[in-house]
Amino acid sequence: MSVKSESIQSKKDSGQDERLKKISPLRVLLNRPELGALGGSILVFIFFGIVAGDTGMFSAYGTLNFLDVSANLGIIAIAAAMLMIGGEFDLSIGSMIGFAGICIAIPAIYWGWPLWTSIIFAFAMAILIGYFNGIMVVKTGLPSFIVTLAMLFILRGATLAITRLITGRTQVPGLRVLIEDDPIAWLFATDTFQWLFTWLGSMKLIALRTDGTPLATGIPPSVIWFIALTLFATWILMKTRYGNWIFASGGDKVGATNVGVPVGRVKISLFIGTAVASTIFACIQVLDAGSADTMRGTLKELEAIAAAVVGGCLLTGGYGSAIGAALGAIIFGTVSMGIFYTDVDTDWFKVFLGAMMLIAVVFNNYIRKKVTETK
């Protein structure tokens, strides 16, 4: 694209049209949806670099800690962002996390299923629920806000009721022993690059425990999933036909339909995407904690939407990016962990979250006007 646009640029310089002017690199950057989030994350790192630079926040252990939190949020934020670009919301993400958790835990603990079958079962349920959300929105024409709000209550209620009915309590522990030797569970439960951390530890480059093993044992699975999903979503949005359909479906549903974009199918698949991402989130959390909790994931849908908005997604659809949502998640993750390393009371975190979102929305609105203004 760089070569192509240069050739057009040079044609322009030869003076074919007097109205043409050079587009400054700043202008090109301004046209990117993730600009705000990029600036925001740089500011956040500068801030904590100054305030908490010497506290261990940026040690290997501390870094992995806030990356892990960011990555978990990022996994669902990216899916939420893609759905928002496609013009819809999913408020059932948090409830889906709780539901997926017990879909894994109850069959594995109470029905004696091998862990991998219950993981597959959870993903199958996610696809079904995502499909249901999608088909409801597409067929009834109701706002997705309402449809998925209903699903938020239904899933959370069902999670609680089913768990109590089968187990008599609201938590299902005892999964940790099942992870070993399972053919699938390692995907969500293994720290990678352990050799690197062992080596760094042996070189005394990172902090060690008293028994000589490194404090940070490896890259958590959430971070690997997060990076993979960011790349995958970006590839889809920028480089595939389906990506163009997502933008078109969210930008102008009627127009997209008129030129032959299968808007309904695109939206349904995006709802399946958020449900599946919630299940990935649930797998990582449940296997990490070794237990499923019926309240897991509460309010996560709003954090995911907040990260997507900070990342440049417009609430009206048709505009946004996966990298932006990823950066939005990093901002939230870094601040929520970083605040422990400062003197600031952690109670202030939510205040920050809300303020950040307001600033982002105002900024994005301004950018959208810039992008679409007639020159």
Partner 1 sequence: MSEYLVQFNNISKFFGKVIALKDVTMKLKKGEIMCLLGDNGAGKSTLIKTLAGVHKPDEGEIIFEDKKIVFDSPRDALDIGIGTVYQDLALVSLMSVTRNFFMGREPQKGLPFFKTFDIEKANTIAAERMGQIGIDVRDPSQAVGTMSGGERQCLAISRAIYFGAKVLVLDEPTSALGVHQASMVLKYIVKAASQGLAVILITHNVHHAYPVGNSFTVLNRGKSMGTFQKKDISREKLLSMMAGGEELDKLEVELKEMDRIENN
Which residues make up the interface to partner 1 (CB under 8 A)?
A: 1, 4-5, 8-9, 11-12, 16-17, 20, 23, 31, 239-241, 243-245, 247-248, 251-252, 254-256, 258-261, 314, 318-319, 368, 371-375
20 or 166: whose CB is closer to partner 1?
20
Please give the structure tokens belonging to residue 138.
């597409």
Which residue's CB is nearer to partner 1, number 210 or number 258?
258
Min dist. Cβ of residue 261 to partner 1 (A): 4
Residues 342, 11: Cα–Cα separation, whole Å: 54
User: Based on CB atoms, which residue is closest to partner 1, 177 or 254?
Assistant: 254
Q: Which amino acid is at 233?
A: A
The amino acid sitting at 228 is A
Nearer to partner 1 by C-beta: 60 or 315? 315
The smaller minimum CB distance to partner 1, of residues 26 and 177, is found at 26
∠ CA 309-85-94, nearest 5°, is 60
Question: At its nearest, how many Å lie between partner 1 and the CB of residue 235?
Answer: 8
Query: What's the min distance (Å) between Cβ of 362 and partner 1?
Result: 18
Q: Which is nearer to partner 1, 281 or 319 (CB)?
A: 319
* Closest by Cα among 214, 194, 192 to 204: 214
Token digits of residue 350? 């939510």
**Pick from 180, 98, 89, 85: nearest CA to 143:** 89
CA angle 115, 121, 123 (to 5 degrees): 110
- Residues in Cβ contact with 251 at an 8 Å cutoff, skipping those fewer than 6 apart: 87, 317, 318, 319
The partner residues of 219 in beta bridges, in order of sequence, read 192
Shorter beta-carbon distance to partner 1: residue 278 or 364 = 364
Closest CA to 307 of 334, 284, 286: 334
Q: How far is the CB of 248 from partner 1 (least distance, A)?
A: 5
Cβ 339 to partner 1, closest distance in Å? Answer: 35
Residue 309 CA to residue 325 CA, distance in Å, equals 7
Least separation, in Å, of the C-beta of 365 and partner 1? Answer: 13
Closest separation in Å from C-beta 141 to partner 1: 18
